[in-house]
Amino acid sequence: MRISRFGALTATVAASALVLSACSAPADQPSEVVEGSSVNVAWNQAFYTYNSNTSYGNATANANIVYMTSSAFNYYNNVPELVKDESFGTYELVTEDPQTVQYTINEGVQWSDGVPVDEADMLLAWVANSGVLNTPEFDPNEFTNPETGEFTEDYPTDVVYFDGAIGAGLENVTETPEIGDREITLVYDTPFVDWELAFGVGLPAHVVAQRALGIEDAQEAKDALVEAVQTNDAEALAALSNVWNTDWNFTELPTGDDANLLVVNGPYQISNFVADQFITLTANPNYVGDNAPQIEEITVRFIADPLAAVQALQNGDVDVIQPQATADVLTALESIDGITVNTGVGGTYEHLDLQFDQSKSGHFNDPLVREAFLKTIPRQQIVDTLIVPLNPDAEVRNSQLFVPGAEGYDDSVASNGMAERFGDVDIEGAAALLAEAGVENPEVCILYASNNPRRVNQFALIQQSANQAGFNVTDCGSETWGGLLGTPGAYDASLFGWQSTSLGVTNASANFRTGGINNLNFYSNEEVDALLTELDTALDPARQIEIQIELDGLLMADNYGLTIFQFPEVTAFSDRVTGVNPGPLSPTIFWNIWDWTPTEAASE
């Protein structure tokens, strides 16, 4: 076994876009696929939707597959630094006042069914992820199933509601963009600091329109979509939004009339999918970019138990794993020959969020009850028991916005109150607050991944501690926890990890702004919203840090929740594949999937 360490997440990271858990440059010429080559990868959660931009689909397990089957204007390497993919398209800042950005997709870029990727696809991405044309005041939470997190059959068909990445920047482009031949021009109402991270092509416009509007011809379908957006045709947009929101939610291989859900524009395409077992990607013959893969077939196998993933690696059932790290995992890996192991600190952090509205019990509407519960969370015990055996230097994380070691972290910790108020468990203080609130034995049902051993252990430690103060902590754990996040009435608190996807400072909006796509606990604070708006346009790095420190303090004053620890990370791979160089940002091990090279064994 060869062991190496990669460094902690770079200290330049302050706040990042988030999803639910040696640099190699792209080749100058497309690689050739090694015929017959295949590699199996283990991942701890099953894929369940191809649209990872919805509140339902925003999870790493989905984003991994989307990344490998999609092309983009840029991506992060493992330094991490932003890399432009000019084999897909280009973009430029045309003017700074007003901030105007033009995107152009290269001629010849096409979807896997041969249809060109063009301005219609970009216009769809804008309307879906800006929310500008959504029906005002519509509340989708009234039509969300608390058992599954998906929209119910009662969801109205006459409203326009794209459940996109609202809060990620495009909501600042309120005028319908001008389009040309494979071009779109975005004009921001106010300058947006992270404009390079705000836009990309998502679902194929022709397929969305074919399914929503009943148009068979691809070009006619795209033309109809463009007209609907440009004329704000509410009837057509309602149908388009409903299809965009829900049709790409699938847990097995779509066939028949649904086969067009598999149309993609990246290096790989989905070729097989068995529910709760695996999803297989095959090299896309219609891909024309620089990031062409060398491995013909990648199969991602869903293995929740980290020790089971290690066993699968040892048995040769999988070739690459990045399981949730535990002391037992590292011990087990030490006994396996012919593998390489990388360890370090990743970009994911564990946290406990409280529901501010539409919770299962409603008790956390009272700030005294929120504060009382947070006083019982044994964060130090969790770190000492579960993380220190992997990383002796591990510490409790005490900021919602800053990564430990980043500029601003120490100053924020000194002022935000998390360490001071909730550094130690205070059972007596919690009980006193419950008495002051006049609440006896309040129920708190916690949502977490019930098939994740570390989360099971954390839940048990929290339950034992909180119950001593008079809480009744109950189990809302589920193997399908990801789809339940943000579902009204499903739980009272959630325990999971946010995986950083970028180095952008403005993306805190997605988590904490009223209505943000990652605002899964219905938190709302006008002062926070105002600061986030200022952060969107703050060009001075010093002011950016000041704003984030202020935000951190406001979140703790509201008893928002608690961060617990930065994830220790372990990646292991067999001698059947080379080129695996994990990075700290999502999609971690998959960021350079085109550089993975099969050895002779992978082609046998």
Reported confidence tier of residue 4, pLDDT bands at 50, 70, 90: very low
363, pLDDT greater than 70: yes
The pLDDT of residue 376: 98
594, pLDDT greater than 60: yes
DSSP 114: S
Residue 214, phi-psi category: left (phi > 0), alpha (psi -120 to 50), beta (remainder)? left
**Residues forming a β-bridge with 5:** 343
Total tally of structural domains belonging to the chain: 2
256 and 386 in a single domain? The answer is: no
Which of the pair, 466 or 145, is modelled with greater confidence? 466
CA distance 401 to 411: 12
The mean-pLDDT minimum among 193-207, 437-451, 494-508 falls in: 494-508
Model pLDDT for residues 288-336, shown as the tens digit of each residue: 999 999 999 999 999 999 999 999 999 999 999 999 888 889 899 989 9
356, pLDDT greater than 60: yes
SS3 455: helix
CB 165 within 8 A of CB 53: yes
Model pLDDT for residues 246-293, shown as the tens digit of each residue: 999 999 999 999 999 999 999 999 999 999 999 999 999 999 999 999
SS3 296: strand
Task: Give the containing element (helix H, strand E) for 237.
Answer: helix 234-246
Cα atoms in the 13 Å half-sphere on the side-chain side of 428: 0
Reported confidence tier of residue 98, pLDDT bands at 50, 70, 90: very high
Q: What angle do CA 502, 194, 126 make, to 5 degrees?
A: 95
562 and 442 in a single domain? The answer is: yes
CA proximity to 41, closest of 573, 588, 482, 499:
573
198, pLDDT greater than 70: yes
- Mean pLDDT value across the chain: 90
Among the three residues 260, 284, 300, which one is the final residue of a domain in this structure?
Answer: 260
Which of the pair, 551 or 4, is modelled with greater confidence? 551
User: Residue 189 belongs to a domain with what CATH number?
Assistant: 3.90.76.10
- The DSSP annotation for 373-416 comes to HHTT--HHHHIIIIITTT-TT------SS--TTSTTHHHHHHHH
The pLDDT of residue 601: 56
The pLDDT of residue 139: 82
The pLDDT of residue 5: 33
355 and 485 in a single domain? The answer is: yes
413, pLDDT greater than 60: yes
pTM: 0.83
Beta strands in 162-309 (DSSP E): 178-180, 183-187, 268-274, 278-283, 295-302
17, pLDDT greater than 60: no
385, pLDDT greater than 60: yes
Reported confidence tier of residue 499, pLDDT bands at 50, 70, 90: confident
Quote the tokens at residue 80: 């991490």
Classify residue 212: in a domain, yes or no. yes
Classify residue 198: in a domain, yes or no. yes
Residue range of the domain that includes 186? 60-260
Among all chains, which residue has been given the structure tokens 């191809």?
50
Classify residue 321: in a domain, yes or no. no
Among the three residues 260, 292, 325, which one is the final residue of a domain in this structure?
Answer: 260
Instruction: Tell me what percent of the chain is helix, strand and coil, each rounded to the nearest 5.
Output: 35, 20, 45
